[in-house]
Structure formats: C-alpha cells, structure tokens
Amino acid sequence: MKFLDLAKVYIRSGGGGSGAVSFRREKYIEFGGPDGGNGGRGGDVIAEAVDGLNTLIDFRYQQHFFAKSGQGGMGRQRTGRDGDDIILRVPVGTEILDEEQETVIADMTEPGQRIILAQGGNGGFGNQHFKSSTNQAPRRANPGQPGVERTIWLRLKLIADVGLLGLPNAGKSTFLAATSNARPKIADYPFTTLVPNLGVVGVDGTEFVVADIPGLIEGAHEGRGIGDRFLGHVERSGALLHLVDGTAADVVADWQTIVTELEMYDKTLAEKPRLTVLNKIDAIPDDELTKKRTDLSEAVGAEVMAMSGVSGTGVTEVLRRLREMVDRKEPGESGPAEEDEGAPWSPI
C-alpha cells in the first residue's frame, strides 16, 4: 500500500428540500385546506477516525465528497426524505485543516471519534405550516436551505510512543527491523527510507510503538533532501531516539545538525525527552569509541548510550531506557523536561 500523509479534499453537504404547496381536495369531504408537507433535511459530511488505516492514499483517487440533498415536501402532509450523510473515514492521528492549511478544524486522535465538517441544510416549510386563524389558505412555502461547500486538507500524523531521528544511514531502519516485525528497506545509500514506518517493539514483557521517519540533512527546513515535513509524524511521540552514526568523522557535528533542524521546525518538538545513542559501535575500535562517546556526551550534556543495531549489542538497554522515558517522561538531553521529572505521562 502506498503511503500518503497529505490530501486535499472538496466537500459539500446536502441542501434541504423545498416545502410543498398543496390543498386537500377529496370527494364528499366538505372542508379542505392546506396539506403541503415540509422538505427533508440535507445530509451532513462527517469525518470519522477508524482503526486499521495508516495512510490517506484513498483520498488521492477520490477527492470530491458530496452528501445527498433532502427530498421536497409532498401533499397529504408528507415530509420529504432526509438526504443521506457521507462519511470520510480517516486514520487515527489525522488533522483536518482549513483551506489555508493553518486553522485546525479537528484532530482525530481516538478511534470512533466523529466530527461534522459540513452540516446539511434544513428543509423548507410547506404551506400547512403557515395556516392560521387569519390565513386559512396560505399559498406559500419555504425553499430548503442550501448546503455548505468547502475545501479542506487532511494531514496524517502517525501516533507512536517513540520517534526515531538521525541523519540518512544512521541505522534507524536497521534498529527498527532488529527490534520489531517491521521490514523497512535497508541499503548502503542515503535516503533509503522515503516514507515513515511503524514497528511494535517489545522489552521485558511490555510493548510500545516506534516510528521511523526519513533522515534529515542540514538545511532540511529549507527543503534540502526530503525536507522536514515528515517530522510531523513524531510530534505525538512521548520520547525521541536520536541515533548518531558512530563511524562518522565528527559525531558532534552530526548530532548538532539534527538538533538544529528540530529547533527550526518546532521548538516544542526540540524540547521533548530525547535519548542520544551512538550507533554502529561494532565497526569502531574501542579507543575511538571511548573518545567519540565522551565528546558527544559533553556536547549533549547528558549520558550517551552506545549500541549496534546489527550485532544487537546494547539494544536491550536502549529499549529499557526508552520504555522508562515513555512511562515516566524521564528527561533525556532536553532541558525543560527535567523540570517535570517524575510527572506521569499521558498519551495524546
């Protein structure tokens, strides 16, 4: 299944049916009178969050969603049929934005959550509604209210407990493949990962969800590489795992590149609890590993863990630390989180 996390959709609710102008005329009945029924109500356009979806690809092939209009009223006091609603089924974690992509209409974070995006028009009154002691034979009826037409954007932000960050080829996909049943593409060239991947990771009898996003490079906030729009998929994470390639010539510079891109994207995201891990230690001599780890710890201002996603060295310890950070919102290298140490963490 192809991955799509942004879609433009055109919606229109149904218009209300018009009221009827009708008079009762029956043989052998002396008194008639108005009996025109009201029009039916137009259908709504509704968004519903559902389980089992992790892409907006369906909205690439169908972008127009129009609810049915209500039926007009009829004689014999018959009300017109209401128009059918139309439901947009979106993945959990979808944000619904107005046309300018700035105003958030709704954030669909719970399965079964529903919101009316465009309300159907009310049906018009038939002439029976206007009958009074001073107007025994009204000859007017109301038209139905028109439907609402608007353009919206759907933006998917995957819901995961932990988000993976790092430069291209930092070993993020290898880590996800080694710790879960996810099978992301792994290769020895940059930007192997082009779309986010989710994996369920288990440690010590507990499980949590990890999201792997395409790698960032310097200038990603300006559109270099794949850009930074995929960072939206880790905004909901309770903790971030920052992998640094231990075989790089300057691990501190690589770490700083990612931190800068986080800050340029959203300072709130940069302040999330973050665990920095030196990866690929199986390919580094011991003396070089010690120096790089020390230099990186000084730059980060917190403990830097070490592991190898290929050999599995240190992976379990990293998973345990991540589980603790998710459960207790334990501070990693981020400053503001230290003030909230020990505070319970609740998912969005």
CATH number of the domain located at residue range(s) 6-156 in this protein = 2.70.210.12
Least confident of 63-77, 94-108, 203-217: 203-217
What's the whole-number mean pLDDT along residues 315-324? 92
Q: Which phi and psi angles does 269 have, rounded to 5°? A: -65, -40
- Which residues, at least 6 apart from 311, have a Cβ–Cβ distance to it below 8 Å? 282
166 is in an annotated binding site: yes
pLDDT value for 235: 87
Whether residue 346 is predicted with pLDDT greater than 50 in this model: the reply is no
Whether residue 111 is predicted with pLDDT greater than 90 in this model: the reply is yes
pLDDT value for 229: 75
Identify the burial level of 322 via C-beta atoms within 10 angstroms of its C-beta, where 0-12 means exposed, 13-18 middle and 19 or more buried: buried
75 is in an annotated binding site: no
What's the whole-number mean pLDDT along residues 78-104? 94
Distance CA 69, CA 273 (A): 50
Rounded percentage of the chain residues whose pLDDT exceeds 70: 89
Residue 174: HSE in the Cβ half-sphere, 13 Å Cα cutoff = 18
249 is in an annotated binding site: no
142 is in an annotated binding site: no
**Mean pLDDT over the full length of the chain:** 86
13 is in an annotated binding site: no
127 is in an annotated binding site: no
168 is in an annotated binding site: yes
What's the whole-number mean pLDDT along residues 29-39? 86
E-state strands within 196-313: 197-203, 206-212, 239-245, 274-279, 305-306
| 198 DSSP β-pair partners | 211
Range ranked top by mean pLDDT from 75-89, 188-202, 266-280: 75-89
Q: Which phi and psi angles does 84 have, rounded to 5°? A: -75, 140
Whether residue 109 is predicted with pLDDT greater than 60 in this model: the reply is yes
Distance CA 239, CA 214 (A): 17
91 is in an annotated binding site: no
pTM of the model: 0.77
Distance CA 144, CA 121 (A): 7
Q: What's the CATH class of domain 162-340?
A: alpha beta
What's the whole-number mean pLDDT along residues 93-105? 92
Least confident of 43-47, 184-188, 221-225, 318-322: 184-188
pLDDT value for 215: 80
With beta carbons less than 8 A apart as the criterion, state whether 142 and 125 touch. Answer: yes
Q: How far is CA 286 from CA 168, 247, 292, 295, 316, in A?
A: 24, 12, 10, 14, 20
Ranges in the chain annotated CATH 3.40.50.300: 162-340
192 is in an annotated binding site: yes
Ranges in the chain annotated CATH 2.70.210.12: 6-156
Distance CA 313, CA 154 (A): 41
What's the whole-number mean pLDDT along residues 243-268? 90
213 is in an annotated binding site: yes
Cα 73–Cα 77–Cα 78 angle in degrees, nearest 5: 50
What's the whole-number mean pLDDT along residues 117-123? 96
Whether residue 338 is predicted with pLDDT greater than 60 in this model: the reply is no
pLDDT digits (tens, 9 = 90+) for 172-223: 888 898 888 877 766 665 666 667 888 889 888 888 999 888 888 887 767 7
pLDDT value for 225: 65
pLDDT value for 337: 39
The more confidently predicted of residues 45 and 326 is 45
Whether residue 232 is predicted with pLDDT greater than 90 in this model: the reply is no
What's the whole-number mean pLDDT along residues 72-87? 94
Least confident of 8-17, 112-121, 174-183, 335-344: 335-344
Whether residue 305 is predicted with pLDDT greater than 90 in this model: the reply is yes
pLDDT value for 192: 66
Distance CA 308, CA 175 (A): 8
194 is in an annotated binding site: yes
The DSSP output letter for 55 is: -
pLDDT band with cut points at 50, 70 and 90 for residue 155: very high
What's the whole-number mean pLDDT along residues 76-88? 95
